[in-house]
Structure 1
Amino acid sequence: MPISRHFEIVYRLLHKRTITAGELARHFEVSTRTIYRDIDVLSAAGIPVYSSKGKGGGISLLEGYTFNTSLLTGREQDDVLMALQTLAVADYPGMDDVLGKFARLFKKDRPNWLEVDFSPWGTEESKQVVFPLLRKAIADRTVISFRYYNTAREESLRNVEPVQLIFKSQAWYLAGHCLASDASRLFKISRMKEIVSTEHIFEPRLAVPSIEAAEEQSARDMVEITLRISAEGAYRVYDEFAESMITAGEDGSFTVKASFAIGHWLDSYLLSFGTLLEGISPEFLRSRALAQLDAFRSRLESDPAGRPNNEQE
């Protein structure tokens, strides 16, 4: 990330008056040509940094130069630190170190106003590597390969050019270009398994911004449904639906109007309300729910003892 590298170059020069381009190149794992480009950027920004040749030469700041933190008010310094922490908690590469340096520069304690964990409660450690892996693949523009399980209960092997991580409707998605379908697609991350970053580098494509593509894809095959949920289901109503979708009844029940994609996921979602759900429309969804209940009852009745199949004689 060039901005953090530029800041660290200045930070290191403030504490060590002269550094060679080779030292900086090795530290940042870039070429010396990149370091000299960084020096040009800093000079253009008004920071008096220069390079000298010969024995004892290197990159230095003008003698007597100090970073004037008074250019920022105390509130502005706090805003900078808080903004950096939003990147640090998202595990952005190198940002934790940058945050610490700014805190020392401003002579302030590191803020702790925000904490984020991308993984669900109880997620095993192996799943916590998914976001760093995807983030790196997006930054490095490397194709990823994974097995995907869609709502039609189909499993497929996908090769995708990852573009963006999106949090939408209480779930994380990956937006990218699917090589099999040669089209932009949205993948729910919880259904992506055996994710591998390949060595294939891709060039960015000219496409609709991914959040717009996400809206378009999610809108396909959507049907407006109406649910009547008992008063005891208030916690789920307010957790899962926007205020504009909810109408409270005089008896305390709720009428919810929302759009959903028809599929097996919706069947399971509706049944998850259990006895909290008092009504469903349109009628075909009510019939589907009743058919699901009949199938569930039939399976349970086929094993009166309630034992798992591998325990039966």
Structure 2
Amino acid sequence: MKAGRLVSILLLLQTRGRMTAAQLAEELEVSVRTVYRDVEALSAAGVPLYGDAGHAGGYRLLEGYRTRLTGLTTEEAEALFLAGAPGPAAELGLGSVLAAAQLKVRAALPPELRVHADRISGRFHLDAPGWYADAEETPYLPAVAEAVWNGRVLRVLYRRWAEPTDVRRRLEPYGLVLKAGRWYVVAGPGPRTFRVDQILELSSSEEEFTRPADFDLAAYWTAYQRDFHDRLYRGEAVVRLAPGVSLPRAVVLRTDADGWTVVRVPIESVGHAQGEFLRLGADVEVLEPFDLRTRLARTIAELAGIYGNVT
């Protein structure tokens, strides 16, 4: 543990510059006294580490000092190469950059870790998009990514589902999210979420914006997904399921003598639920709401009329 912590201190100072003992202790989740001992150990090992006293003081490395990545564990080296998704990087226009970065990291690894990294690359491949869906064309993705990185305002023609469908928007892009093979840009004011593949026209500008200092992209996306599901499933249905059949997010109410289970499930709408329950055929019986049960009965009667009596 101590060896790994020493490497962490070294890399933190190398990437962030001057840090106080309290900042290092908070980052590493140890006491300030432990940081003092670790800094003494690094100095004794010949690391050019200096401490400045005073209010603006802290520890820092000698200017220009860099360390090789010999502190990586086997698991960290494997995870590093597993996390490099070439598909999304290429879509962002960073395919060659990612390849060059991985090449440099690989060259800096000790031979034994290099073997593990190569094994990961050869045995695992990440493919984000789902089956049965054509990949969305996102010609403006590199431009959006550049605006995110440089803090530049975008003006877009955006296609939404509600009327009027095509609207012009001024976006302050805070960040990009890749979800199930689809790119989303989170942008102010708001912030709000936009699908990148629904951008019909885009023009960048030299106008800069200030990204909120307290904006956390990961936290926003987690809250956005939770709110999306809360808004998506606004209704409920009570249904009977044949033995062995289950539904996601179902709450079991009782099990009948014939083995069928009565459950309560959230539904997006009556129309959407009708299609979903029809997929289960005779393995489901809708009890409530009455409107949904009636629509299913009407649809089933119409299907029977089309296909006739089957013997």
TM (normalized to structure 1)? 0.51
SS of the aligned residue for 1:127 comes to coil
1:82 aligned to which of 79, 83, 95? 79
Distance 1:174 1:128, change over 3 A: closer
Distance 1:119 1:171, change over 3 A: closer
Report the residue type matching 1:219 in the other structure: D
Contact preservation (8 Å) 1:81, 1:102: no
2:129 aligned to which of 119, 122, 126? 119
Q: 1:203: how far off?
A: 2.4
Structure 2 residue runs without a partner (length 5+) = 1-10, 16-58, 307-311
Paired position in structure 2 for 1:155: 165
User: What are the residue-to-residue correspondences of 1:144-293 with 2, within 5 Å?
Assistant: 145-150=156-161, 155-159=165-169, 160-166=171-177, 172=182, 174=184, 176-177=186-187, 183-187=190-194, 192-194=198-200, 196=202, 198-199=204-205, 200-205=207-212, 209-211=219-221, 212-216=223-227, 218-220=229-231, 222-226=233-237, 228=239, 230-231=241-242, 234=245, 237=246, 241-242=248-249, 245=251, 249=255, 257-262=264-269, 267-268=271-272, 270-276=274-280, 277-279=284-286, 281-286=288-293, 293=299
Q: 1:68: how far off?
A: 6.8
Paired position in structure 2 for 1:311: none
% identity of equivalent residues:
15
Q: 1:271: how far off?
A: 0.9
Report the residue type matching 1:80 in the other structure: A
Report the residue type matching 2:64 in the other structure: V
Paired position in structure 1 for 2:45: none
Report the residue type matching 1:67 in the other structure: R
2:103 is equivalent to residue 100 of structure 1: yes
Q: 1:261: how far off?
A: 4.5
Give the CA RMSD over aligned residues.
4.8
User: What are the residue-to-residue correspondences of 1:22-37 with 2, within 5 Å?
Assistant: none
Number of residues paired by the alignment?
Answer: 226
SS of the aligned residue for 1:117 comes to coil
- Cα distance in 2 for partners of 1:195, 1:260 equals 35
Structure 1 residue runs without a partner (length 5+) = 8-43, 51-60, 302-313
2:61 aligned to which of 46, 49, 57? 46
Contact preservation (8 Å) 2:157, 2:199: yes
Contact preservation (8 Å) 1:175, 1:186: yes
- Cα distance in 1 for partners of 2:260, 2:202 equals 47
Distance 1:255 1:172, change over 3 A: farther
Contact preservation (8 Å) 1:137, 1:197: no
